[in-house]
Amino acid sequence: MQNTRVLVRLALALVTLAFASLASSQNYPNRPITLIVPWGAGGGTDATARIIGSLLERELGQPINVVNRTGGSGVVGHQAIASSPADGYTLGLITVEIAMMHWAGLTQLKPSDFTPIGLVNSDPAGLSVRSDAPYKSVKDVLAAVKANPGKFKASGTGQGGIWHLALAGMLKDQGIDPAAVPWVPSQGAAPGLQDLVAGGVELVTCSIPEARALIDAGKVKPLAIMDATPPALYPKLPTLKSETGSNWQIAAWRVIAAPKGLPADIQSKVVGSLKKVHDSQEFRDFMAKQGYGVVWAGPEDAAKFMAKADADLGSVMKAVGIAK
Amino acid sequence: MLAIYGQALALVLDPYVLAVIFCSALFGLFVGCIPGLTATMATALLVPITFFMAPVPAIAAIVTATAMAIFSGDIPGALLRIPGTPASAAYTDEAYAMTKKGQAEIALGAGLVFSAIGGLFGTVVMITSAPGLAEIALQFSSFEYFWLVVLGLAGAVFIGNASVLKASISLILGLLVACVGLDNPAAHPRFTFGNTELMGGVSLIPMMVGMFAVSEILRFVTHMDPPLKLATDKIGNIFTGMWELLVKYRWPLVRGSALGTIIGIQPGSGADMAAWMSYAVAKKFSKEPEKFGTGHVEGIVEAGAANNSALAGAWIPAIVFGIPGDSITAIAIGVLYLKGMNPGPTIFLKNPQNIYAIFLVFILANLIMVPLGWLTIKAAKTVLSVSRNILMPTILLFCIVGSFAINNTVFGVALILFFGLVAFVLEENGFPVAPAILGVVLGQMMEENFITSMIKSDGDVSAFFTRPIAMWLAIATFIILFWPVGTWLWRRSRAASPAPQKS
């Protein structure tokens, strides 16, 4: 008797649970959503995630908690996103590192292990020198590097980071051995730029908005951008292609994504809301003030974009000897 | 100039701005008190709120909250031996020893009053000479940083009253822990055993909470200490005797404030390092160094001033060149851009009343710290009247929640328990834990600056001595490192020379 009652209750509970999960797919979202950021509070990725989070909250009508899961050069946070349940209640802001870490043997995770929602931002690499440096253009720098292999040092991020690959890819494209400019690892663009001004390194290949304050202060001189068009901040800055004819382009990008296997109806709902956020004046103003590049690609295009970036970065990493 | 300050004052005295300052002060005091929540985290939590504010209140919120958090980190440190923020770790043992002696009101009062004075000192430096100092800070490269870190480490072994040998062993343990993870110059995973969590390295905060608080709980369990002999009425007026301390320790106060400001200006080193270095300096120059570690207020005066002055110092390169002086200003720079106050020399030319208003906020924040801090201490001291049988498990609970919250992972909880055990064993055998924590704070910086310097100089060690600033720092480091050896040799030779006459 006692047992039957327990069984009946259990069955009832299960049925309720089943309905609840069915309902959750239809009424999505009916509870708070977590947005995981694989990088620390206060950085560019964090700021982007927080503005998207606060605007998406309005669209979806549920609170969005931005959670920083840092460490291991992004491995920890990306892993946390990928291994969360694919129910739409965990989203993440995945970054260009997802197309790099697996080549370096740090993780098995690839861009294809996520359900993309949308590509929201892309910041191309630039090439900057100290403002009193004798070089007037990228050509001057490349000629000097060719003439004195090993003499010039460059910085802007950690070993094998995106700006390191930007430099290596540019040199490789010009037929110069990437080892001709040794990389000085730094904890990010700001310490790298500071070392540039202090005379520790000669070149920095971080994005243009990262160098903005020092450019405006007249301490640092940008020479080119590794993108198809000049940046909005400095429309007169030449592209690498216009200066040297090179087709080399590279950028740090950010994609809102969910764990793999997100139900299609939930995915389309989030995509619609994210697109509205992306088109909103608040988001555009925020990104413009920070100097961040705004781009948009829906789920299919974002998946294609990431697959191409994955292949490109892999070939540069093999050339530099970072890929395992 | 005066007209601009007039406009700035009008901006600050706006009722809305004052309300923002008051609320963020309370928020900062709260965050600082909770172990595991840092001043940096307070800033990060404020950012989404500042999206909807005008420039001056937005920055005012950050400035006020961080100043309060750095001070209030001293409170749980003194009362419970749990530093609220890493910036209080340097003198937590000292303050707790004072509480045990029944001098909690002096420890807390000194923390409050001298935090405020240190903060004001840093602010005055920032107002008067920000552009020039930022210019100098930009000249520092990895060679100079390397020597600064070595100076900091040299200070570690002199902290506390344990033997230099045991302190050095503890420091090396800390340096070893700092090796774990992926965040090293080669970006190669070390000591991770294939574990993704360990790839992120051992975070400082769970380790610190474990080594201070959990080990204290373990000691309570094993020793069943008699309860703290501290009646609540004994924490009377925390301001009693502060004037005497101010007069007695005026030089340590100035030295701590100055050192703190300088450390703050250096990009990459903030309030944590300022507190450690000035505590060591205080002991080095003290007339009674033997009292350090036994509950002596001198180190608290100097280091308490230093960590708050570092906070202001860190804003100097941030506003002038957009180079963050610490992890707080790294976040604040984003907010400055967002509010159209782009960092750079032009910040003083375009809408100068905004930046002057922020200077005034710094002053105001350090002034209201005194009454608000006094209220917080008054509220916090009731903790001591709670029976330790109830208090200790509650503290453990807080530690576990805090260490989970820091990175939202159970791994943090495992870390505090592990390091609690390690620290318990170390302390039972006379090894101090503070140097181990400093090793973790500075280990990564030391390795990074050494390796990057060697890459830049193509493996030539002499580069550490040929750059002018690096050379002077090297000389200072060697003098401090070999001073004890030198005096020992000198005494020995003096003792040896009269010896033959005796025989």
B6, B8, B12, B15: CA torsion to nearest 10: 60
Task: Name the residue among B8, B28, B19, B23 with its Cα closest to residue B73.
Answer: B28
Q: Identify the band that residue B361 occupies on the pLDDT scale cut at 50, 70 and 90.
A: very high
User: What distance in Å separates the CA atoms of residue B184 and residue A229, rounded to the nearest whole number?
Assistant: 35
Query: Does the pLDDT value for residue B501 go beyond 80?
Result: no
Query: Does the pLDDT value for residue A201 go beyond 80?
Result: yes
Q: How far away is chain B from the Cα of A102, in angstroms, using its nearest Cα?
A: 13
B194: left (phi over 0), alpha (psi -120 to 50) or beta: left
Alpha helical stretches, state H, B196-314: 196-199, 204-209, 215-223, 242-248, 250-265, 271-285, 298-313
What's the confidence (pLDDT) of residue B35?
74
Residues with Cβ within 8 Å of residue B416, at least 6 apart in sequence: B206, B207, B209, B210, B213, B214, B399, B400, B403
What residues of B are in contact with residue A198 (Cβ under 8 Å)?
Answer: 138-141
What's the confidence (pLDDT) of residue B234?
57
Interface contact flag, A73 B187, Cβ < 8 Å? yes
End-to-end CA distance of chain B: 77
For residue A178, being part of any structural domain is answered with yes
Picking from A194, A195, A285, A322 by the largest number of B CB atoms within 10 A of its own CB, the best residue to mutate is A194
Q: Identify the band that residue B271 occupies on the pLDDT scale cut at 50, 70 and 90.
A: confident
Q: Identify the band that residue B499 occupies on the pLDDT scale cut at 50, 70 and 90.
A: very low
Q: Work out the percent of chain B whose per-residue pLDDT is above 70.
A: 93
Mean pLDDT value across residues B31-50: 82
What's the confidence (pLDDT) of residue B159?
60
For residue A279, being part of any structural domain is answered with yes
Q: How many structural domains does chain A have?
A: 2
Mean pLDDT value across residues A273-296: 92
For chain A, give the longest Cα–Cα distance.
92
What residues of A are in contact with residue B203 (Cβ under 8 Å)?
Answer: 71
What's the confidence (pLDDT) of residue A73?
74
Residues A141 and A171 reside in one and the same domain: yes
Interface contact flag, A194 B323, Cβ < 8 Å? yes
Query: Does the pLDDT value for residue A6 go beyond 70?
Result: no
Cβ of residue B182 closer than 8 Å to a chain A Cβ? yes
Examine residue A230 and say whether the peptide bond preceding it is cis (omega within 30 degrees of 0).
Answer: no
CATH number, position A83: 3.40.190.150
What's the confidence (pLDDT) of residue B288?
85
What's the confidence (pLDDT) of residue B500?
47
Closest residue on chain B to A287 (Cα): B338
Token output for B363: 């002053």
CATH number, position A175: 3.40.190.10
Domain that includes residue A293, residue range: 31-122+252-320
| Secondary structure class of B417 (helix, strand, coil) | helix
What's the confidence (pLDDT) of residue A17?
52
Task: Name the residue among B176, B216, B175 with its Cα closest to residue B391.
Answer: B216
Q: Identify the band that residue A4 occupies on the pLDDT scale cut at 50, 70 and 90.
A: low
Residues A219 and A299 reside in one and the same domain: no
Cβ of residue B200 closer than 8 Å to a chain A Cβ? yes
Cβ of residue B324 closer than 8 Å to a chain A Cβ? yes
Q: How far away is chain A from the Cα of B189, in angstroms, using its nearest Cα?
A: 8
| Secondary structure class of B429 (helix, strand, coil) | coil
- Which residue did the predictor score with more confidence, A22 or A49? A49
Lowest mean pLDDT: which of A175-179, B235-239, B424-428? B235-239
What residues of A are in contact with residue B195 (Cβ under 8 Å)?
Answer: none
Interface contact flag, A289 B337, Cβ < 8 Å? yes
Decide if B77 contacts B35 (C-beta within 8 A).
Answer: no
Mean pLDDT value across residues B446-462: 90
Interfacial B residues in 326-365 facing A (CB < 8 Å): 327, 330-331, 333-334, 337-338, 340, 342-346
Last residue of a domain, one of A213, A244, A275: A244
Cβ of residue B47 closer than 8 Å to a chain A Cβ? yes
User: What distance in Å separates the CA atoms of residue B37 and residue B28, rounded to the nearest whole number?
Assistant: 10
Query: Does the pLDDT value for residue B502 go beyond 70?
Result: no
Q: Which helix (H) or strand (E) holds B480?
A: helix B468-496
Interfacial B residues in 52-71 facing A (CB < 8 Å): none
Nearest to B343 among A54, A75, A213 (CB): A213
Residues A240 and A270 reside in one and the same domain: no
User: What distance in Å separates the CA atoms of residue A38 and residue A93, rounded to the nearest whole number?
Assistant: 7
Token output for B71: 């001070």
User: What distance in Å separates the CA atoms of residue A313 and residue A323, rounded to the nearest whole number?
Assistant: 10
Q: Identify the band that residue B67 occupies on the pLDDT scale cut at 50, 70 and 90.
A: very high
Residues A112 and A175 reside in one and the same domain: no
Residues A228 and A152 reside in one and the same domain: yes
Interface contact flag, A68 B40, Cβ < 8 Å? no
For residue A16, being part of any structural domain is answered with no
Query: Does the pLDDT value for residue B252 go beyond 60?
Result: yes
Last residue of a domain, one of A224, A244, A264: A244
Residues A42 and A99 reside in one and the same domain: yes
Highest mean pLDDT among A295-304, B203-212, B467-476: A295-304
Lowest mean pLDDT: which of A257-271, B103-117, B467-481? B467-481
Picking from B37, B328, B329, B456 by the largest number of A CB atoms within 10 A of its own CB, the best residue to mutate is B456
Q: Which helix (H) or strand (E) holds A240?
A: helix A240-244
pTM of the complete model:
0.81
Highest mean pLDDT among B105-119, B195-209, B311-325: B105-119
- Which residue did the predictor score with more confidence, B28 or B47? B28
Mean pLDDT value across residues A1-6: 56
Picking from A39, A76, A208 by the largest number of B CB atoms within 10 A of its own CB, the best residue to mutate is A76
Decide if A195 contacts A201 (C-beta within 8 A).
Answer: yes
Residues A41 and A83 reside in one and the same domain: yes
Query: Does the pLDDT value for residue B132 go beyond 60?
Result: yes
Query: Does the pLDDT value for residue B102 go beyond 50?
Result: yes
Residues A222 and A259 reside in one and the same domain: no
Residues with Cβ within 8 Å of residue A140, at least 6 apart in sequence: A134
Decide if B272 contacts B440 (C-beta within 8 A).
Answer: no
Nearest to A72 among B138, B199, B338 (CB): B199
What's the confidence (pLDDT) of residue B86?
84
Lowest mean pLDDT: which of A287-296, B56-65, B156-165, B463-472? B156-165
Residues A159 and A229 reside in one and the same domain: yes
Mean pLDDT value across residues A76-94: 93
For residue A274, being part of any structural domain is answered with yes
Residues A58 and A200 reside in one and the same domain: no
> Which pLDDT tens digit goes with each residue over B171-219?
899 999 999 988 788 878 889 888 878 888 888 888 888 898 898 889 8
Residues with Cβ within 8 Å of residue B478, at least 6 apart in sequence: none
Residues A50 and A103 reside in one and the same domain: yes
Mean pLDDT value across residues B126-133: 88
Lowest mean pLDDT: which of A114-118, B5-9, B154-158, B465-469? B154-158
Q: Identify the band that residue A42 occupies on the pLDDT scale cut at 50, 70 and 90.
A: low
| Interface predicted TM-score (ipTM) | 0.77
What's the confidence (pLDDT) of residue B9?
92
Q: Identify the band that residue B231 occupies on the pLDDT scale cut at 50, 70 and 90.
A: very low
- What's the whole-number average pLDDT of chain A? 89
Query: Does the pLDDT value for residue B43 go beyond 60?
Result: yes
Last residue of a domain, one of A221, A244, A267: A244
Residues with Cβ within 8 Å of residue B260, at least 6 apart in sequence: B118, B121, B122, B271, B274, B275, B278, B305, B306, B307, B308, B309, B310, B313
Interfacial B residues in 251-280 facing A (CB < 8 Å): 267-268
For residue A18, being part of any structural domain is answered with no
Lowest mean pLDDT: which of A243-247, B212-216, B222-226? B222-226
Residues A139 and A238 reside in one and the same domain: yes
- Which residue did the predictor score with more confidence, A19 or B290? B290
Number of H helices, E strands in chain B: 25, 0
- What's the whole-number average pLDDT of chain B? 85
What's the confidence (pLDDT) of residue A1?
46
Closest residue on chain A to B180 (Cα): A72
Interfacial B residues in 122-161 facing A (CB < 8 Å): 138-143
For residue A24, being part of any structural domain is answered with no
Query: Does the pLDDT value for residue A11 go beyond 70?
Result: no
Interface contact flag, B197 A76, Cβ < 8 Å? yes
